[in-house]
Amino acid sequence: MLTVDFSRFPLAPGDRVLDLGCGAGRHAFECYRRGARVVALDRNGDEIREVAKWFAAMKEAGEAPAGAEATAMEGDALALPFPDESFDVVIISEVMEHIPDDKGVLAEMVRVLKPGGRIAITVPRYGPEKVCWALSDAYHEVEGGHIRIYKADELLAKIREAGLRPYGTHHAHALHSPYWWLKCAFGVDNDKALPVRAYHKLLVWDIMKKPLATRIAEQALNPLIGKSFVAYATKPHLPPVDAA
């Protein structure tokens, strides 16, 4: 299940991509399949080891084209272990809402992104997230949990302040918002509640089968209750320096 829309965020074979806070690796895997040279980075060592196993399995199965590369590594988003202007593309999906110093993370991403490079940022959307917070303290008051809710204008302002130029936005995963509202209403750790189990089965069926009816429904509902807000931006080229 991808949050970044690669029709709005195109990759070229050979692009060097950083998936920052990669988690289970969903976006990193898609970039690898598209022929990119991917670095999946996360602070969670267990997840990174799983991502590395999947990269190896994908290579063995021939899922990535010739020239594609993939590396999984532990790292700190506030101190990225890469030189300046190392990447053509940076993706950070559902991460910034966890980090106190979000401006520091943006600064690091801009530092390692090449001029003319592209960045995709996704965060939980303000409205659906406010409902979750209202229904359950346990949803966000956990170690490593969500510490803020972004309004779209606030996030776009921070992106601009970091020196990036936004060029597009959209919402995603409308069908997932009711699931999280149910989880929060019945208990975030209570997977046995009948409404939660029933809706989870619906989501799994939707992800596996991709029926046209739910694709149309989600597309129609995304502007209203999309669970994620997605922003795309570029790093501008610096103007030439006048030697005189």
The predicted-structure confidence for 127-155, as pLDDT tens digits, reads as follows 999 999 999 999 988 888 899 999 999 99
The predicted-structure confidence for 32-81, as pLDDT tens digits, reads as follows 999 999 999 999 999 999 999 999 999 999 999 999 999 999 999 999 99
Q: Decide: 68 and 31 in contact? Cβ < 8 Å.
A: no
The predicted-structure confidence for 1-46, as pLDDT tens digits, reads as follows 899 999 999 999 999 999 999 999 999 999 999 999 999 999 999 9
Residue 145 has a pLDDT of 86
Q: CA 122, CA 26: separation in Å to the nearest integer?
A: 13
Residue 242 has a pLDDT of 56
- Give yes or no for residue 110 having a pLDDT over 90: yes
Residue 230 has a pLDDT of 98
Start-end of H helices in the chain: 26-33, 45-61, 102-112, 126-135, 152-161, 176-186, 194-209, 212-225
Length of the chain measured in residues? 244
Residue 239 has a pLDDT of 67
Q: How confident is the model at residue 243 (pLDDT cuts 50, 70, 90)?
A: very low
Cα–Cα distance list, 108 to 21, 27, 75, 111, 113 (Å): 13, 20, 12, 5, 9
Sign of CA dihedral 106, 174, 50, 139: positive
Secondary structure of residue 30 in the 3-state scheme? helix
Q: CA 192, CA 188: separation in Å to the nearest integer?
A: 11
Residue 142 has a pLDDT of 82
- Give yes or no for residue 108 having a pLDDT over 60: yes
The predicted-structure confidence for 188-197, as pLDDT tens digits, reads as follows 999 999 999 9
- Give yes or no for residue 244 having a pLDDT over 60: no
Sign of CA dihedral 114, 120, 126, 131: negative
- Give yes or no for residue 201 having a pLDDT over 70: yes
Secondary structure of residue 139 in the 3-state scheme? coil
**β partners of residue 234:** 118, 165
